[in-house]
Structure 1
Amino acid sequence: MAKKKENVPAKAVESLFNKVSNLIEQARVRVATAMNVAEVYTKYQIGRYIVEEEQSGNKRAEYGKQVLEGLSERLTARYGDGWSYSNLRQVRQFFLVYGNLTISDCQISNPPDFTLSWTHYLVLMRIKNADERRFYEIEATSGNWSVRELQRQYGSSLYERLALSRDKEQVARLSRVGNVVEKPEDIIKNPVTLEFVGLKPDASYSESNLESAIIGKLQEFLLELGKGFLFEARQKRFSFDEDDYYVDLVLYNRLLQCYVLVDLKVDKLTHQDLGQMQMYVNYYDRYVKQDFEKPTIGILLCKEKKDTLVKLTLPEDANIYASAYELYLPDKKLLQAKVKEWVNEFESTNATRTVNSFSQSPIF
């Protein structure tokens, strides 16, 4: 008599399946990442060989073109598409950019540590400013940005907007370590770019329309705000003295370990708006915040802000910030010029201080 087959518990199968499935997915991600990095290192070395060959040629420009055309034909014949003359020129340029070289350099450096895909580096190579390029490379790596997200952040001038929102001494830090979130000021951008919500800048819309548009593009909104943001609620109600109050958006930043309250204003900022946000922040600090959490941050996103009004209305230690928002991508060249002016002014001030300090030093 055949032995009756026991029924396998569905929960046991489901649990084991999830564990094995997660392991396979993680392995696939590691393999894909390894393949992407291997491709980048390979193309870096190919670019190195091309530059070394060009350096040995007499008529460099014409010689280099003929060599690349011939190399393209041979590689395409053996390995298929992907080795066109224009692609090899990109590979050559990649080595010149990331090897910190010019065509006349004789010394070839060791390759840097590559962390992104080749398609990411095709975007990064177009950024001429080395500090800005390094910033986007760090942020794309730490934030696990897709190529599309990298293009969007560069197109929205993230580097310039952060630089103009920082103390001048912190601008250079962006290119060394990226945007490190350690204090409330580190999450502030001016302006906040909301082109993805789909509202037309010249059209009439209400705060409710803006809020609904943001909720509809919540992932993009949180990415625009920066690192560590989590969404908790919209139109969050709290009550005291028999009155109800509503916060437009309640977020939490896990890096700062604090609540972030956002109020949306479609008109220019007023002192009443600031006073209302102060009340919201006070309520959360006194009745919602846990002992281990940091003080609540208030952000007013407004069509037009006035820094002087904020300083006069709020105490110096207020954890409340006003940021303008725009429904279109900013003028990158204009922002770049502002950052350059900002940095030059800072460097000029430092140089003057150094000279004055030296001239006042006693001579022995």
Structure 2
Amino acid sequence: MSAREDRVEPTGYGDLLEQIKTQVRHARVQAARVVNSELITLYWRIGASIRQRQAHEGWGTKVIARLADDLRTEFPHMRGLSQRNLVYMRTFAGRFSEPSAQHPVAQLPWGHVTVLLDRVPDAEARNWYVEQAAHHGWSRATLTHHITSGRHLRSGNAPNNFPATLAAHESDLAQSILQDPYNLDFLNLDSTHSERELEDALIGRLTHFLSELGAGFAFVGRQYKITTGDRDYFLDLLFFHLGLRRFVVFELKVGQAEPEHIGKLNFYVNAVDDQLRRPEHGDGATIGILLAATRDDIVVEYALRGIGSPLAVSTYTTYGALPDDIRPSLPTADDLADALRDVARP
């Protein structure tokens, strides 16, 4: 048989190759998860043993330094046995029950766990971040960002009519994608910004905005044109949420949310439902989110009452929204870098 004949693929070979490659990739991911789960459980047990001994024997903190030295001598090629990490393990065992392989914390890398131990003292909030990070696959940087911005306090808090317009399970899922307020400090807008400047800034920093929105949002377009009757209308921002399988319309307002803004958003949502939604593909009812600088909750409640489309009214914060007498006193990025260099000098 010639070399050329050897290179001729038999029928179905390409499909078989792709199938096996997929199986190998899946097995490698599963193996990595098992290894990570075992490592997290090991760290918890080490921490629990240290806590138990210190409690019963009255040992001080110096014993941890000695343990670190002896363990690294015994296991010279194993990372993670430093004195600092042993202290984290002891803290870990004090703040979590022993994790099983199915527990969300066992699905997180150790670096994520140390961030949670350092930054989230409240147990309820810590468990919320553990579940969200494991479910959405947040990176360590994303987890840190969400903790810093207090995402657990903002999640699902925006006034909405979801319970009245969606089935119970859909309402809960839809509320989970809401934030109030949305943290748009990364835009660095001044206090006199216009709606177009806000929109331009959001598109210019779309990656940051998508991170703030949360997992599942896919960007469709800005100033998205829809034609109704003989007129063209333009949606500020249009997204599709992959988890909810539905379009999400954002209407931007730099002032206070008004009843007429909610009425206009309802009009946009109805138009998207009629012109873009594909129920035969499993698309759910379109959601509208009015993103305004401020709102009066009583006015919003009246404006949402009786509307058949799922709508919500959220607010946003920006660095530029800080009072003028406070903003100049905050350190700039250069100030922080200089301060860090000063600390690092011997």
TM normalised by structure 2 equals 0.75
Q: Residue 164 of structure 2 aligns with which residue?
A: none
Amino acid aligned to 1:322: V
Q: Residue 35 of structure 1 aligns with which residue?
A: 35
Q: Residue 200 of structure 2 aligns with which residue?
A: 212
1:140: Cα distance to partner? 0.8
1:329 and 1:47, CA in 2 relative to 1: closer, same or farther beyond 3 A? farther
* Structure 1 CA distance for aligned equivalents of residues 170 and 143 of structure 2: 18
1:280 and 1:68, CA in 2 relative to 1: closer, same or farther beyond 3 A? same
Q: Residue 89 of structure 1 aligns with which residue?
A: 87
Q: Residue 312 of structure 2 aligns with which residue?
A: 321
3-state SS of paired residue (1:64): coil
* Structure 2 CA distance for aligned equivalents of residues 322 and 166 of structure 1: 6
Q: Summarize the alignment of residues 57-206 of structure 1 with structure 2, pairs less than 5 Å apart.
A: 57=57, 60=58, 63-80=59-76, 82-99=80-97, 111-112=99-100, 113=103, 114-126=106-118, 127-162=120-155, 164-165=157-158, 182=172, 184-195=174-185, 198-202=186-190, 204-206=192-194
Unmatched 5+ residue regions in structure 2?
161-168, 323-346
1:27 and 1:166, CA in 2 relative to 1: closer, same or farther beyond 3 A? farther
Runs of 4+ with >6 A deviation: 10-14
Q: Residue 5 of structure 1 aligns with which residue?
A: 4
3-state SS of paired residue (2:60): helix
3-state SS of paired residue (2:306): coil
Q: Residue 339 of structure 2 aligns with which residue?
A: none
3-state SS of paired residue (2:307): coil
Amino acid aligned to 1:264: L
Q: Is the 8 A contact 1:69 1:85 kept in 2?
A: yes
Are positions 1:233 and 2:221 aligned together?
A: yes
* Structure 1 CA distance for aligned equivalents of residues 156 and 228 of structure 2: 40
Cα-to-partner distance string for 1:64-118 (whole Å, 9 max, x where unaligned): 323222212211223346433222111111111113xxxxxxxxxx545322111
Q: Residue 253 of structure 2 aligns with which residue?
A: 265
3-state SS of paired residue (2:179): coil
Cα-to-partner distance string for 1:265-284 (whole Å, 9 max, x where unaligned): 22333343223212212222
Amino acid aligned to 1:31: A
Cα-to-partner distance string for 1:308-338 (whole Å, 9 max, x where unaligned): 333344443342221111125999xxxxxxx
1:212 and 1:11, CA in 2 relative to 1: closer, same or farther beyond 3 A? farther
Segment drifting more, 271-280 vs 153-162: 271-280
1:17: Cα distance to partner? 5.4
Q: Is the 8 A contact 1:181 1:227 kept in 2?
A: no
RMSD: 3.3
1:17 and 1:225, CA in 2 relative to 1: closer, same or farther beyond 3 A? same
Segment drifting more, 38-47 vs 298-307: 298-307
Q: Is the 8 A contact 2:262 2:304 kept in 1?
A: yes
1:284 and 1:66, CA in 2 relative to 1: closer, same or farther beyond 3 A? closer
Segment drifting more, 266-275 vs 276-285: 266-275
* Structure 1 CA distance for aligned equivalents of residues 220 and 83 of structure 2: 52
Q: How many residues align?
A: 303
Out of 241, 244, 247, the position equivalent to 1:253 is 241
1:41: Cα distance to partner? 0.9
1:79 and 1:118, CA in 2 relative to 1: closer, same or farther beyond 3 A? same
1:4: Cα distance to partner? 6.1
1:136: Cα distance to partner? 0.7
Segment drifting more, 218-227 vs 243-252: 218-227
Indicate the percent of aligned positions where both proteins have the same amino acid.
28
3-state SS of paired residue (1:256): coil
* Structure 1 CA distance for aligned equivalents of residues 74 and 85 of structure 2: 16
Cα-to-partner distance string for 1:118-165 (whole Å, 9 max, x where unaligned): 111112223221111111111111111111111111111111112644
Q: Residue 349 of structure 1 aligns with which residue?
A: none
* Structure 2 CA distance for aligned equivalents of residues 166 and 312 of structure 1: 11
1:205 and 1:166, CA in 2 relative to 1: closer, same or farther beyond 3 A? closer
* Structure 2 CA distance for aligned equivalents of residues 159 and 180 of structure 1: 20
Cα-to-partner distance string for 1:161-217 (whole Å, 9 max, x where unaligned): 1264489xxxxxxxxxxx99635434322101123xx42142644433333333344
Out of 289, 294, 298, the position equivalent to 2:284 is 294
Q: Is the 8 A contact 2:253 2:290 kept in 1?
A: yes
1:129 and 1:180, CA in 2 relative to 1: closer, same or farther beyond 3 A? farther
Amino acid aligned to 1:134: N
TM normalised by structure 1 equals 0.72
